[in-house]
Amino acid sequence: MDSTPDSSNGKQKVRSAEVGTDILKALASLSPSTSLSRLAEQVQMPASKVHRYLQALIASGFAEQNPATNHYALGREALRVGLAALGSMDVLKQAALPLSQLRDSLNETCFLAVWGNQGPTVVRIEPAVREVTVVTQIGSVLPLLGSSTGLVFCAFLPERETISLREAEQRALPLERQAALQPLLATIRDTGMHHVHGLLLPGVDALSAPVFDAMGRAVAVMTVVGPSSMFDAQAEGPAAAALRDAAAGVSWRMGHEPNAGRLLPPAQR
């Protein structure tokens, strides 16, 4: 065991970095600003110790203090680092492995769609490995109101982004489906997913769940599709549970932390 002065100093620096990181995380969770006492309570440290670290963070630009209220907030450097991290987050990259793992666990075709200029657009596919499979083309644009993927986008995207496409498709729907649309979207928002039986293609069922980014925006939808004779697309079935976990895990990797309980990756639930 190394007990030299250099080793001790190294450990102390690591610990100091950990404490500084904890304080930065607390400033982020208590944003836009907070008092010293509230911050000390959040990190469970003496206020005097937190104050010392805050002075160092202010000097480096990672924190700032409002002279009128004496409250503390994240500084410009912290915001710059955060924006750089957000800019590097690619939902396609973050979803690639979870999507293939979901396909492996269910042996059903799984795909990821993002919102494109013409609506829900398929950008990645993991096809089922068996004789009976459902193939979806990369680049395919799915109907907004005529697919599970589209309905999830419609439920979670801002209305201004979907309204023109929604109104065009809604006019072609039977009157009973038009009347049922808003209650259906509310149910999708409440449950966090949607399942359909033969809506887009006869004999094909689908389950879809949204993926959110750090700002709480729906940036993608993960969907599982399979033949009705073999695929259990019930909202409370095992496939739905696996899809929820996969979408939640990708959202977590994208930095999403919903207000109603922190979203944890599946392994930490």
Q: Does 269 or 213 have the greater pLDDT score?
A: 213
Alpha-carbon 31 to chain mean position: 20
Q: Does 115 or 86 have the greater pLDDT score?
A: 115
| pLDDT band, very low/low/confident/very high, at 1 (cuts 50, 70, 90) | very low
Query: How far apart (Å, rounded) are the C-alpha atoms in residues 151 and 145?
Result: 5
Mean of per-residue pLDDT scores for the chain: 84
Task: Choose the CATH number for 89-268 among 1.10.150.20, 3.30.450.40, 3.90.79.10, 3.40.50.2030.
Answer: 3.30.450.40
| pLDDT band, very low/low/confident/very high, at 82 (cuts 50, 70, 90) | low
Contact call for residues 239 and 207 (beta carbons, < 8 A): yes
pLDDT computed for residue 79 by the predictor? 74
Domain ranges of the chain: 5-86, 89-268
Closest CA to 74 of 50, 45, 54: 54
pLDDT computed for residue 81 by the predictor? 74
Residues 6+ apart with CB under 8 A from 201: 134
pLDDT computed for residue 140 by the predictor? 85
| pLDDT band, very low/low/confident/very high, at 69 (cuts 50, 70, 90) | very high
CATH (residue range 5-86): 1.10.10.10
The pLDDT of residue 191 is above 80: yes
Q: What is the pLDDT of residues 118-166, one digit of tens each?
A: 889 898 999 988 765 666 788 888 999 989 999 999 999 999 999 999 9
pLDDT computed for residue 214 by the predictor? 84
| pLDDT band, very low/low/confident/very high, at 261 (cuts 50, 70, 90) | very low
